[in-house]
Structure 1
Amino acid sequence: MPPRKNPCLHASPLFSGQAPDRTFARMSTPLSDWLQARQGTFGPLVSYDLHHPKVFVFDFTAQNADLTAVDLRDTPAFARYVDKRLREEGSRIGIGGYLEDRVLYQRSAHYDGTGTEPRRLHLGMDIWAPAYTPIFAPLAGRVHSFADNQGFGNYGPTIILEHAYDHGTFHTLYGHLSLASLEGLHVGQPVAQGERVGELGPYPENGDWPPHLHFQIIDDMGDWWGDYPGVAAGSEREHYRQNCPDPNYVFNFIPPDPA
């Protein structure tokens, strides 16, 4: 049977933060083309089946009126909201979308530079799951860099892998891990497809977030080491959309049909 590909890629507001339109047609770059051609062949990031109908898609945009009743700066309260929504939906895990314009980044000054446009645009995809959930490499690579990015609302423990492909190398970032995930790592360490990369961290060591994975694909890392922007300003959309292709090429998540 051929790999199951996602017919909804770039066609759902779940992954663009707004209603679908032609401006969100697939970005064609050598990396995105390579990823799309192999969609459905990558290994799973977690042991849960992302094709299960009970996987819940979170909405962290201003369109979600429920968020007005949650103090997002209060991590335990935020975590209770996440857990409550998963229980209500009968879901074990939740998904957070790519290029979603998120109000939740107002919780931390980390996303508001003095005199600059605030950063609200999510450049990765999330898996919201219990702390210590194991995370696996979806494809073979090596450790590019790692760091504990401290500070309220930051990544916390982060691992970046480097992968070879037809046109050079690209990278995958795993943020909000546990501190234990960084133990024993060294730059250049080989990682096989399906090998355990780490585990989701609890708050506050994970950057003080409800437990979740931030997964991001990065073409050119520039001078970044152990860190890379995971949220961008609206004016930076096209630059980061090109350098950070849709993670759903790897997730291969198909949103459930509306009831």
Structure 2
Amino acid sequence: MKTFEQIIKSNASLIKKVVDFDASIDKLLPLDFTVSNTELTDEILDNTDFFSAWVNQKLKTNNAIYGIGGYNEHRTIYSRSVHFDTAEEPRRLHLGVDIWAPAETPVYNFFDATVHSFANNNNFGDYGATIILAYEIEGFKFNALYGHLSLASLKDLEEGKFIPAGKSFATLGVKEENGNWPPHLHFQIIEDMGGLKGDFPGVCKFSERDKYLANCPNPNLVLDCSLK
């Protein structure tokens, strides 16, 4: 059977956008949230408004429409929330890609899909409004999790609902709706949901890195197609 990477590459011409982007004029800014980013002080991370202002200033200074990055990144920013702490080892390894943009930014479906599940994961530091779509390409089945959405994005959804490729089906949420983060999209590919609905870990323990990355392949494979 083909891998996720092979499936996406062989169907690259059919992959639609995830966010509005014109590669001829728009710029993406890679954002680093590892320990090497010494600009992100505890004072900034402990205050969502300060954190948002930091992201917005970075985008403005670099004339970028979106900030992007995070897959397989060992992040220090999760120390801001006990949601990512466990007794034996904190969760710090990011399993998706983040696209940092203003609240209400439209989110599009990149390929024909159905609604797998959805939920409002309303914990500090969690996803907030979350939609998981189920895909099948050339017989290969997988899911994509879209997190930190607006609560309005969950309206009129039902499991099994068809979402066509190219459709705007959600928008980014404000901090009060997105788990208390600066507005952004958490975009994650998940091959096996393990029976979960409306939620799936977007951050894992570093000791479980190989297991989770095998089940959550690189979302940049989709974005590399959709942002061209």
Aligned to 1:129: 101
Q: Which residue of 2 aligns with 1:179?
A: 151
> Is the contact made by 2:12 and 2:225 (CA closer than 8 Å) also made in structure 1?
no
Which structure shows the bigger proportion of residues in strand conformation?
2
Q: Which of the numbers 169, 175, 183 marks the counterpart of 1:203?
A: 175
* Identity in percent: 46
Partner in structure 1 of residue 10 of structure 2: 37
TM-superposed CA distance for 1:185, in Å, is 0.4
- For the Cα contact (< 8 Å) 1:42–1:139, is it kept in 2? yes
1:155, 1:207 within 8 Å by CA — same for their partners in 2? Answer: yes
- Cα distance between partner residues in 1 of 2:37 and 2:139: 40
Distance 2:42 2:23 in 1: 29
- Deviation of 1:116 (Å): 2.3
Instruction: State the 1:69 CA deviation.
Output: 6.2
Alignment of 1:142-153 (within 5 A): 142-153=114-125
- The alignment covers a number of residue pairs equal to 227
User: Take 2:23 and 2:197, find their aligned partners in 1: how far apart are those partners?
Assistant: 30
Q: CA RMSD for the aligned pairs?
A: 2.0
Q: Distance in 1 between matches of 2:22 and 2:193?
A: 30
- Give the direction of change, closer, same or farther, for the CA distance of 1:186–1:70 in structure 2 (3 Å limit): same
Q: Give the AA of the match of 1:235.
A: S
- 1:85-142: per-residue Cα shift (whole Å, max 9, x none)? 11111112110221011110111000001x2211111100011000000000011110
2:58 maps to amino acid: R
Determine the C-alpha separation between the residues in 1 that align with 2:218 and 2:118.
22
Deviation of 1:192 after TM superposition, in Å, equals 0.4
CA contact (8 A) 2:14 2:111 kept: no
Contact kept in structure 2, 1:31 and 1:167, CA below 8 Å? no
* Corresponding position of 2:164: 192
Cα offset for 1:40? 5.3
Following superposition, the deviation at residue 48 of structure 1 comes to: 2.0
Q: Deviation at 1:170? A: 0.7
Cα contact 2:15–2:225 (8 A) shared by 1: no
Q: Are the aligned partners of 1:40 and 1:250 in contact in 2 as well (CA < 8 Å)?
A: no
Q: 1:104 aligns with which of 62, 77, 96?
A: 77
TM-score normalised according to structure 2 size: 0.93
| Structure 1 counterpart of 2:36 | 63
TM-score by length of 1: 0.83
By how many angstroms is 1:196 displaced? 1.2
C-alpha displacement at 1:198, in angstroms? 0.3
The partner residue of 2:211 within 208, 227, 239 is 239
Match of 2:21 among 43, 48, 56: 48
Q: 1:138-194 deviations in whole A, cap 9, x for unaligned?
A: 111100000000110000000000011334421001000000000000110001000
Q: How far apart in 2 are the matches of 1:47 and 1:53?
A: 10
Given the superposition, is the C-alpha separation of residues 203 and 50 from structure 1 closer, same or farther in structure 2, using an over 3 Å criterion?
A: farther
Give the counterpart of 1:141 among 108, 113, 123.
Answer: 113
Alpha-carbon distance between aligned partners in 2 of 1:203 and 1:35, rounded to the nearest angstrom: 32
